Amino acid sequence: MEKTILALLSAAFTSFAFATYTGEENTTAATNTYVLVHGAWQAPYVWDAVRTDLVNKGNQVIIVQLPGHGDDHTPPLNLTLDVYSNKVIDAVSKVNGKVILVGHSMGGMVVTNVAEKIPTRISKLVYIGAFLPASGQALTDLAYSDPDSQLGPALVPSADKLTLDVLNDKVTDLFVSDGSPADKKRVMENYRAEPAIPFSNKVSLTNDHFGIVSKVYIKTLHDVVISPGLQDRMIAGAGIKTIYQLETSHSPFLAKPHEVSDLLLKIGR
């Protein structure tokens, strides 16, 4: 009987700690609470291995599914950067204490906007191969300034300009060229066209809000979506001093998830 009770408690804890935020979960404090925000053309699944590592070390992990991604089918006409940000803020509001907020790629725009709105709820703001705007910039402003990115020529806008596709034969080369065949298969199975409107939404940042949040950048050194050169310029522009590097393509949480987990654990100490 005792073993049965322990098994049930263990299962309950694991289910709780592996939360994916859809708008309904309640969370409580743990060693650290990591809130993970995926990027464009991706979904919560990309964080699965990282989440497992962090939870196994006693941390709480919340993966936010941005509207219009994964199994959420909010019409792209209704999506903006603020809609994305509000989903993250809603997740953070259900946590006791501060969170380590992590954004990848387009998710960097989202977590930046969130940090401006709720700076006192964030202990560390972590960018992983992510867009990091200055005040008044949109993702498109940064992307157009990156001559070394290979993404632009592979983009295919829809007729109504509300979504952006990536040429099918370029998806894995761009996002996970160093991943395993299984990683690449998973990316293709979960691929969806990306809502376009949030790409052109600008952020408005202040020193008293975004400026007070502690920031860390994890560079992806073989990235052909957000080039290392652009990453360096964004890091310098934001004045970030804590910088780590990964020898990966754009999706390190797929190609080298344990290295990502190790860095997030280190940042959380």
Per-residue model confidence as pLDDT tens digits over 100-156: 999 999 999 999 999 999 999 999 999 999 999 999 999 999 999 999 999 999 999
Task: Note whether residue 5 is domain-resident.
Answer: no
Task: Note whether residue 1 is domain-resident.
Answer: no
Smallest CA-to-CA distance from 206 within 117, 106, 120 is with: 117
105: left (phi over 0), alpha (psi -120 to 50) or beta: left
Contacts of 164 (CB under 8 A, 6+ apart): 155, 156, 157, 158, 193, 194, 196, 199
87 φ, ψ (degrees, to nearest 5): -65, -40
- Could you give the number of structural domains in the chain? 1
Per-residue model confidence as pLDDT tens digits over 7-38: 433 443 333 344 554 443 434 445 899 999 99
Which domain, by its residues, includes 172? 15-267
Contact 46, 251 (CB under 8 A): yes
Cα–Cα distance between 229 and 102 in angstroms, integer? 21
Q: Residue 189 belongs to a domain with what CATH number? A: 3.40.50.1820
Smallest CA-to-CA distance from 196 within 131, 153, 140, 142 is with: 140
Per-residue model confidence as pLDDT tens digits over 52-109: 999 999 999 999 999 999 999 999 999 999 999 999 999 999 999 999 999 999 999 9
Quickly tell me which residue has 């050194």 as its tokens. Answer: 221
**Residue 159 pLDDT:** 97
**Residue 232 pLDDT:** 98
Task: Note whether residue 6 is domain-resident.
Answer: no
Quickly tell me which residue has 């560079």 as its tokens. Answer: 219
Task: Note whether residue 119 is domain-resident.
Answer: yes
Contacts of 266 (CB under 8 A, 6+ apart): none
Smallest CA-to-CA distance from 92 within 15, 27, 20 is with: 27
Task: Note whether residue 237 is domain-resident.
Answer: yes
Task: Note whether residue 224 is domain-resident.
Answer: yes
Task: Note whether residue 168 is domain-resident.
Answer: yes
Task: Note whether residue 253 is domain-resident.
Answer: yes
